């Protein structure tokens, strides 16, 4: 991936830095991000759009994939917009100095406090998810004498081919206004009637880790089949169509993601065709990639510890992290590949199971990992492609402190999140004043 190379010393290098050195300096587990690769991903999105010269577009980084001050700064510096889904993500974005007018606020249950934060900060758009939110936001705007631009999240009834838990565009989902049962039409009508909400356009997101353009094409067509009616019936002109994120990446050799340009071409061509067919003007196109910007750029370094060889069954080797820093294998049966980072030049022909150190059987990071024959305690393991939904979904399960995060580029490493300490773990604990042993 990206700037990963194997040095003459047999070590894995990322961004021109020896991962063995990184592990010594910052400890393990360690999340390492190749910033050059993230920038390259951003550029490929931009290039894909710039081919469509007549089009206006925005690329909003979905910060749920990986949000820290440094990451938000990088996204801001590269001209991205930002999708946030909670007060915490919004707070992080504002603290990172991200331009408020480029922030879009998502979520199916934004609290009044969160909406107030968004209104105070005068963010670019709220993506309204349901009728209660439409009502609450309208009232809050009226009370404050403030206007807010909104998109309505539409559930287009399209199933993307991905894991059930991260599939979002089908009918039975907690998200959005369903297209086919009149909910979406009623939401458009209410939004148009509001004095304080300016209905800029529509949003849909059909799922994550998607490998085909078909779902996007079907979702866009479904929306336009109604747009045609809404424009005539309600005089609704869609200035923005946000088609969400979900562009698939290569976790392992068996993943074959499409080049980003193929997705963007399919999305833009479909929108332009539909507009021509229904004599509508072409809206600005927004997308919200998360995983596809940060996923492949992240590597987690672990130190190997104990092992257990069950003859004829399998050999377990345990790392000093696991489901607390990467819940994805346990939660979604997600697959990863790994390499022995201090002996990356040796043939990897031994199949082992990489286990975590958490107290449950399901804490297995990789079921069949290929490692060198001499793989042993103390070796450094690099699990590849962990940049998305790893750190952001990390927990303190078993009271494991969250690992540190470093950005590497051109031979320089910058710490962007410090490793938590045991003190951090009990920082918010309040001990009992008196303790009686009954
Ligand atoms: N926009 C919306 C409205 C979303 O719900 C999501 C992801 C995205 C954009 C970004 O999707 P991406 O480009 O990253 O695929 N924790 C799961 C993924 C959950 C995705 C939730 N929504 C995982 O680890 O696979």
Question: Does residue 242 line the site of ligand 1, with CB under 6 A?
Answer: no
Residue 433 has a pLDDT of 85
* Residue pLDDT, tens place only, 14-60: 999 999 999 999 999 999 999 999 999 999 999 999 999 999 999 99
What's this model's pTM, rounded to 2 decimal places?
0.96
Q: What is the reported pLDDT for 437? A: 63
**142 vs 150: CA distance, rounded Å:** 15
The predicted-structure confidence for 45-57, as pLDDT tens digits, reads as follows 999 999 999 999 9
Whether ligand 1 lies within 6 angstroms of the CB of 107 is answered as: no
How far is the centre of ligand 1, averaged over its atoms, from the C-alpha of 300 (Å)? 20
Evaluate whether the domain defined by 35-291 bears CATH number 3.20.20.10. yes
Whether residue 245 has its Cβ less than 6 Å from ligand 1: yes
Contact assessment for residue 329 and residue 365, using Cβ atoms and an 8 Å cutoff = yes
Instruction: Give me the residue label for tokens 């509508």.
Output: 280
CATH architecture of the domain with residue range 5-33+295-420: Beta Barrel (2.40)
- Residue 346 · residue 357 · CB < 8 Å: no
What is the average pLDDT value for the chain, to the nearest integer?
96
Gap from CA of 161 to ligand 1 centroid (Å)? 14
Question: Ligand 1 atom 19: the closest Cα is on which residue?
Answer: 166
| Catalytic residue, candidates 340, 358, 359, 385 | 359
CB of 328 sitting under 6 A from ligand 1: yes
Indicate if the pLDDT at residue 168 is higher than 70. no
pLDDT tens, residue by residue, 320-369: 999 999 999 999 999 999 999 999 999 999 999 999 999 999 999 999 99
> pLDDT per residue over 82-135, tens digit each?
999 999 999 999 999 999 999 999 999 999 999 999 999 999 999 999 999 999
C-alpha dist (Å) from residue 314 to 94, 139, 179, 309, 322: 49, 61, 50, 6, 18
Inter-residue contact 286 to 240 (CB < 8 Å): yes
* Alpha carbon nearest to ligand 1 atom 15, residue: 246
pLDDT digits 0-9 by tens, 191-223: 999 999 999 999 999 999 999 999 999 999 999
Distances (CA, A) of 331 to 175, 381, 401: 21, 22, 20
- pLDDT on residue 228: 86
Lateral strand order in the sheet of 12-14: 5-6, 12-14, 17-18
Domain 5-33+295-420 and domain 35-291, same fold? Reply is no
Q: Is 244 in the pocket of ligand 1 (CB under 6 A)?
A: yes
What span, in angstroms and rounded, lies between the C-alpha atoms of 182 and 144? 31
176 lines ligand 1 (CB under 6 A): no
Find all residues with CB under 8 Å of 233, minimum gap 6, and list them.
Answer: none
Res 14: pLDDT? 98
pLDDT of residue 110: 98
Annotated binding-site positions for pyridoxal 5'-phosphate:
246, 288-291, 389
Sorted by where each begins, the domain ranges of the chain are: 5-33+295-420, 35-291
For the chain, percent of residues with pLDDT exceeding 90: 94
State the helix-helix crossing angle for 214-234 and 260-277, rounded to 10 degrees.
30
Write the residue with the smallest CA distance to atom 21 of ligand 1: 166
Nearest-CA residue for ligand 1 atom 9 is 245
257 within ligand 1 shell (Cβ under 6 A): no
- Say whether 359 is catalytic: yes
Number of H helices, E strands in the chain: 12, 21
Cβ contacts of 309 within 8 Å, gap of 6 or more: 315, 316
Q: How far is the CA of 247 from the centre of ligand 1 (A)?
A: 9
Positions at the binding site: 246, 288-291, 328, 332, 360, 389
Tens digit of each residue's pLDDT (9 = 90 or more) over 225-242? 999 899 999 999 999 999
Whether pLDDT at 438 is above 90? no
For ligand 1, pick from 246, 263, 297 the residue to mutate: most ligand atoms within 8 Å of CB: 246
* pLDDT tens-digit series, residues 363-404: 999 999 999 999 999 999 999 999 999 999 999 999 999 999
> Cα separation of 1 and 299, whole Å?
10
Annotated binding-site residues for substrate read: 291, 328, 332, 360, 389
Q: Give the pLDDT score at 436.
A: 67
């Amino acid at each position: 991936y990206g700037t990963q190379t194997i040095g003459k010393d047999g070590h894995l290098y990322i961004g021109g830095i020896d991962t063995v050195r990184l592990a010594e300096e910052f400890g393990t587990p360690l999340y390492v991000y190749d910033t050059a690769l993230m920038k390259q991903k951003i550029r490929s999105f931009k290039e894909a759009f710039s081919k469509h010269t007549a089009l206006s577009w925005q690329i909003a980084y979905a910060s749920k994939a990986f949000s820290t001050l440094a990451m938000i700064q990088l996204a801001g510096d590269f001209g991205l917009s930002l999708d946030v889904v909670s007060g915490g993500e919004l707070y992080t974005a504002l603290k990172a100095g991200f331009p408020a007018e480029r922030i879009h606020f998502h979520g199916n249950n934004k609290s009044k406090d969160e909406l107030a934060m968004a209104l105070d900060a005068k963010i670019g758009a709220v993506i309204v998810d349901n009728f209660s939110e439409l009502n609450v936001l309208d009232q809050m705007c009226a009370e404050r004498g403030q206007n807010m631009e909104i998109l309505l999240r539409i559930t287009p009834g399209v199933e993307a081919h991905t894991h059930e838990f991260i599939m979002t565009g089908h009918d039975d989902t907690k998200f959005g206004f369903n297209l086919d049962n009149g909910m979406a039409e009623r939401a458009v009508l209410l939004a148009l009637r509001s004095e304080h909400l300016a209905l800029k356009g529509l949003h849909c997101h059909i799922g994550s880790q998607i490998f085909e353009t078909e779902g996007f094409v079907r979702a866009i067509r479904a929306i336009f089949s109604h747009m045609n009616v809404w424009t005539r019936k309600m005089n609704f002109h869609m200035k923005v169509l946000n088609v969400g994120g979900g562009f698939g990446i290569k976790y392992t050799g068996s993943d074959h993601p499409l080049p980003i340009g193929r997705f963007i071409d399919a999305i833009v061509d479909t929108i332009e065709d539909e507009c021509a067919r229904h004599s509508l003007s072409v809206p600005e196109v927004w997308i919200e990639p998360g995983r596809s910007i940060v996923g492949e750029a992240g590597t987690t370094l672990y130190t190997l510890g104990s092992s257990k060889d069950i003859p004829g069954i399998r050999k377990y080797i345990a790392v000093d992290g696991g489901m607390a820093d990467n819940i994805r294998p346990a939660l979604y049966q997600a697959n990863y590949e790994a390499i022995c980072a201090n002996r990356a030049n040796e043939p990897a022909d031994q199949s082992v199971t990489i286990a975590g150190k958490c107290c449950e059987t399901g804490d297995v990071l990789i079921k069949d990992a290929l490692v060198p024959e001499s793989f042993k305690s103390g070796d450094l393991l690099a699990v590849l492609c962990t940049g998305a939904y790893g750190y952001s979904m990390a927990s303190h399960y078993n009271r494991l402190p969250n690992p540190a995060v470093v950005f590497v580029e051109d031979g320089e490493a910058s710490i962007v999140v410090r490793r938590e300490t045991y003190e951090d773990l009990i920082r918010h604990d309040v001990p009992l004043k008196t303790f009686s042993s009954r």
